[in-house]
């Protein structure tokens, strides 16, 4: 995955949401891991929050982020499993305009190498809403590391070739301007 060093690095403003009934800021290792990796890569973690596993609460945060012009990307951790309280994908589907199917597929492919068939229990997904990228990751620290280190680190770097999500950001709202 080549980085073209002749191109400028463009920092992305990223918000992090932990979805959990039990974690608080002191015990939120996954959210902390994401924040450290975001900032370590040169991006800005512009918000970090925790909400309970409730679709309406998750949706409200996602909609607030999408409406905020200072947030380019939102990443959630938690609530992507298949138990009754796992409702993050349902909240995402209420908000997304377009799903990035390849993100979930790629995440599960990479995860398969580490946890085998257990990866089928993950409903990780990505998409776009009103020009904002949104990604839902599982709640484990390992899954957050894998998603960031193996996918998002590269796709959120404008220097990544042959293409990346950052170079598409100016065009994400084309359909709104046309209307």
pLDDT of 1: 60
Stated pTM of the model: 0.96
CA torsion sign for 34, 37, 39, 43 is negative
At 168, list the tokens.
């598409």
To the nearest 10 degrees (0 to 180), the angle between helices 88-95 and 55-67 is: 40
Nearest to 70 by CA among 95, 96, 38, 47: 47
CA distance 23 to 65: 21
How are beta strands 73-77 and 44-51 bridged, if at all? unpaired
102-124 pLDDT, tens digit per residue, is: 999 999 999 999 999 999 999 99
147-163 per-position pLDDT tens digit: 999 999 999 999 999 99
Reduce the DSSP state of residue 91 to 3 states and report it. helix
pLDDT tens-digit readout, 40-98: 999 999 999 999 999 999 999 999 999 999 999 999 999 999 999 999 999 999 999 99
Q: Quick one: CA dihedral 20, 36, 143, 99, positive or negative?
A: positive
Q: Where are the domains of the chain?
A: 13-170
Report whether CATH 3.40.980.10 matches the domain 13-170.
yes
Cis peptide before 23, with omega less than 30 degrees from 0?
A: no
């Amino acid at each position: 995955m080549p980085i073209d060093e002749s191109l400028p690095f463009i920092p992305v403003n990223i918000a992090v949401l932990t979805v959990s009934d039990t974690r608080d800021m002191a015990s939120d290792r996954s959210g902390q891991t994401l924040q450290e990796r975001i900032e370590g890569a040169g991006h800005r973690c512009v918000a970090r929050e925790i909400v309970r596993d409730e679709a309406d609460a998750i949706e409200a945060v996602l909609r607030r982020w999408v409406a905020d012009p200072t947030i380019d990307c939102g990443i959630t951790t938690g609530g992507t499993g298949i138990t009754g309280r796992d409702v993050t994908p349902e909240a995402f589907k209420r908000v997304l305009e377009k799903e990035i199917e390849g993100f979930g597929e790629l995440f599960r492919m990479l995860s398969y190498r580490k946890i085998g068939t257990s990866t089928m229990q993950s409903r990780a997904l990505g998409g776009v809403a009103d020009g904002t990228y949104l990604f839902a990751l599982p709640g484990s620290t390992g899954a957050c590391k894998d998603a960031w280190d193996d996918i998002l680190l590269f796709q959120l770097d404008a220097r990544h070739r042959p293409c990346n999500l950052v170079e598409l950001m100016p065009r994400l709202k084309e359909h709104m301007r046309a209307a």
